Amino acid sequence: MVGLEMNVGSAMLKVAAVQMSSNSNKENCLKKAEEFVFLATEGGAEVVALPEMFNFSGIIEKKKKNAESIPGPTINRLKELAKKFRIYLLCGSILEKHRGLFYNTSIFLNHQGEIIAKYRKMHLFDVTLPDGSSWRESELRTAGNEVVKVATSKAIFGFSICYDVRFPELYRKLAKGGTQIVFIPSAFTLETGKDHWETLVRARSIENQFYVIAPNQIGRDSQGRSYWGKSMIVDAWGTVLAKAPEKECVIFAEIDLSLQEKIRRNLPSLSHMRKDLFDFIK
């Protein structure tokens, strides 16, 4: 999916990632998200990203009751924010209900409050962790099947959600499509995050020579599950430009798209890929 705005503009771009702890009080989560978006705009951010499932966290039956169509109450509130502050806003992800199915869905809004991209999480988190905890995302959600990018007046953005980060094929496909900045809104667990989070996020950046904005959940949710935090913004060389402390907060970074062009020109690894051997990446 390539969206509405096709003129890629100036090289420098100030971005922000929100780190927050969601709970089963939806209104509380939404107010918190709105406050963090305001703080991000106060800091001069032109692009703001919220984490995965920022608007609600709870048991499966309550999740079903709080699922929304798109657009719906949550996205409509954020559309007004994006328009008011004239920012590009990555609406982390919410539980979308569509034709009787549920999806983990990310929405990207432009500075006029318009939906310009919609991504449904492809890879569902069905795992048993070393601490014995079990996660079965597919018990409720259906996997998406579309690689999504959008060209805007700021940059070409690509989309993914949390567990997707473990599947480099998605990111290579985004890179081959010209993506400059990739979002990875997440609710990365404490158990996996301590060993894998930074390594995976930086690896996707280094491999594909694009910027990564990775807002993460932190703290403990209403089910007692803990999240790693350490939200990050990483440049196209794999350097961590900003990393969140262990609290709810907003982090900022300046993205320099001319640096990315230089990196791709001087170390043209994407053009060196053996397409004759790896023809599954188009």
Q: Among all residues, which ones are annotated catalytic?
A: 52, 121, 162
Relative orientation angle of helices 73-85 and 26-42, to the nearest 10 degrees: 10
User: What are the tokens at 238?
Assistant: 């794999």
CB-based burial, 206-226: b 16+ in 10 Å, e otherwise: bebbbbbbbbbbbbebeeebb
**Which amino acid, residue 154?**
K
Q: What are the DSSP calls for 154-205, one per residue?
A: S-EEEE--GGGGG-HHHHHHHHHTT--EEE--B--BHHHHHHHHHHHHHHHH
Residue indicated by tokens 């996205």: 75
CB 174 within 8 A of CB 149: yes
**Which amino acid, residue 204?**
R
Question: What is the distance, to the nearest Å, from the Cα of residue 3 to the centroid of all Cα atoms in its chain?
Answer: 17
**What's the DSSP call for residue 17?**
E
